[in-house]
Amino acid sequence: MWIKVVILLAFAGILLSLGSALLFLMKDQGDSRRTLKALTLRVGLSVGLFVFIMVLIAAGVIEPHGLIPGPGTPPG
């Protein structure tokens, strides 16, 4: 259950950072570096979330499903 909470919080942080970057871009008119900082934070959160999910898969905590059919699964 805690894994879902962490993933949802990361997604919320990514969306908030993206929204704040848009707001800074429109408001500042290129006079500050706040847009760059917000987008850098978004990229960092995205990479961190990806790495977190890959570590959980490698550790066997979560299992990917639905993308590649397993053996004995009929096509289509």
Question: Would you say residue 68 lies in a domain?
Answer: no
Output the pLDDT for position 53: 94
pTM for the predicted model, two decimal places: 0.77
Count the domains in the chain: 1
Helix boundaries (H) for the chain: 2-28, 34-59
Quote the distance between the C-alpha of residue 44 and its chain's center.
9
Output the pLDDT for position 30: 66
Helix (H, G, I), strand (E, B) or coil at 29: coil
Question: Would you say residue 26 lies in a domain?
Answer: yes
Question: For every one of its 76 residues, what pLDDT tens digit does the chain have, with 9 covering 90 and above?
Answer: 899 999 999 999 999 999 999 999 898 876 788 999 999 999 999 999 999 999 999 998 988 876 666 666 665 5
Output the pLDDT for position 75: 59
Domain containing 24 equals 2-59
Question: Would you say residue 11 lies in a domain?
Answer: yes
